[in-house]
Amino acid sequence: MTGVPPVVEAYGVRLRPFRADDVADLVDGCADPLSQRFVSTMPSPYTEVDARWWVEAGAPAVWAGGGAAYAIADPATDRLLGGAGLSNPVPARRQVDIGYWLRPAARGRGLAAAATRALSEHAFAAGTVRLELHTEAENAASQRVALAAGFRYEGLRRSAGERRDGSRYDLLTWVRLADDPPGPTPRLLPDLPDGVLTDRVVALRPLAPDDVELMYGLHSRPEVVANQAPPVPPTRESIERRCRLAASGWLTGDIARLVIVDVATGEPAGSCGLSYTEVTSGEGSIGYALLPRWRGHGYATRAVRLLAAWAFGPAGFARLTAGTVPENTASHRVLERVGFRREGLQRGRLPGLEGARLDDLTFALLPGDLR
């Protein structure tokens, strides 16, 4: 994409070249902590000198190299709201990377998704066939933009990103093809209605980064560890990572992790989760655990029932399974009260300690079985 950069106006945003009067707004957006955190190519600290360099030399160099460097502007005022661009062109594949950032005041209004859609369509019209969009695993907001702009999650690129200090990190890759259908990408695991599931006694909400103490305390308990495969206590680091990446796991369709909350007190009672075991057949698997204080009061049954109803409803699952160790009779009773039926014992299916194997007693639930 060379020559005089064209102005693109669509979906309520304007994409235009950067100008000298954008400098103050460039500093406002690029010096912002969120931009600094997730756009490691930006200078840090970001100053007026950096902004002037970008307008006078950086952006023109991108255009000269076959990419694109656009200012996202308000069509009514032409004031800069953020930036969007194309980089790393691979002519042989007719492929290019796409990226974006927004000033703090412009976030939360769908402008990044609008700009990404507009730039994507402009790139396709110019002959691009494949667009790649890369996000950090913890950047759930950017992943929502990708989905809203019609990109599909394609996989993890290990150590594909580099921080300013030289350390490496993984990137999630999202792809849109020229012939993909228009509109947002349908999600395997949709958001909860109003962000929560509740029967007014218990509530289920998404796991969050600040749930580390709860999750570490719960999943380190001996009786909880004994019902895992293999029965090994988690490290604190693994729990911290689980909490940090919970939002991303939901958006990529890997797993929905939730916290069980007592509605009357607002206190956390446990956790549960839902993941696909086979997407093509619509089969998923659930798991759950409660803190001792809340056991024996029907909370696990209520939580599993809420989760199953959401799975068969908005999430569109056709069948749910739950695997248990044969000795966990309390969990068996929970499943049976919800309507799960025993399907069989799979001998030696799960890893145990020191090379041992554990049996897996499987229960299954169909929509018509839910009580």
The per-residue pLDDT for range 159-190, each reduced to its tens digit, is 999 999 999 999 999 999 999 999 999 999 99
pLDDT (tens digit, 0 to 9) for every residue of the chain, 371 residues total? 445 678 999 999 999 999 999 999 999 999 999 999 999 999 999 999 999 999 999 999 999 999 999 999 999 999 999 999 999 999 999 999 999 999 999 999 999 999 999 999 999 999 999 999 999 999 999 999 999 999 999 999 999 999 999 999 999 999 999 999 999 999 999 999 999 999 999 999 999 999 999 999 999 999 999 988 899 999 999 999 999 999 999 999 999 999 999 999 999 999 999 999 999 999 999 999 999 999 999 999 999 999 999 999 999 999 999 999 999 999 999 999 999 999 999 999 989 998 999 999 999 999 999 98
Would you tell me the crossing angle of helices 236-244 and 212-219 to the nearest 10 degrees? Answer: 130
- Establish how many alpha carbons lie within 13 A of residue 52's alpha carbon, considering only the half-sphere containing its beta carbon: 3
Statement to judge: residues 158 and 285 lie in one domain: no
Statement to judge: residues 273 and 347 lie in one domain: yes
pLDDT above 90 as % of the chain = 94
Distances (CA, A) of 174 to 1, 42, 132, 177, 358: 22, 22, 6, 10, 38
Instruction: Look at residue 182 and tell me if it is in a domain.
Output: no
Instruction: Look at residue 164 and tell me if it is in a domain.
Output: yes
Q: Which domain holds residue 171?
A: 8-177
Would you tell me the crossing angle of helices 111-125 and 140-148 to the nearest 10 degrees? Answer: 50
Name 120's Cβ contacts closer than 8 Å, sequence gap at least 6: 98, 131, 149, 150, 176
Instruction: Look at residue 357 and tell me if it is in a domain.
Output: yes
- Domain CATH code at residue 352: 3.40.630.30
Could you check whether the bond before residue 233 is cis, i.e. omega within 30 degrees of 0? no
What is the total count of domains within the chain? 2
Statement to judge: residues 205 and 291 lie in one domain: yes
Q: Which of 177, 208, 234 is the last residue of a domain?
A: 177
Statement to judge: residues 275 and 329 lie in one domain: yes
Statement to judge: residues 123 and 197 lie in one domain: no
Q: Under a CB-based contact definition with an 8 Å cutoff, are residues 306 and 315 in contact?
A: no
CA distance 86 to 97: 5
Statement to judge: residues 164 and 23 lie in one domain: yes
Would you tell me the crossing angle of helices 299-312 and 329-338 to the nearest 10 degrees? Answer: 50
Statement to judge: residues 103 and 162 lie in one domain: yes
CA distance 251 to 229: 26
**DSSP per residue, 149-218:** TT-EEEEEEEEEEE-TTS-EEEEEEEEEETTSPSSPPPPSSPPPGGG-EE-SSEEEEE--GGGHHHHHHH
* Total residue count of the chain as it appears in this document: 371
Statement to judge: residues 200 and 172 lie in one domain: no
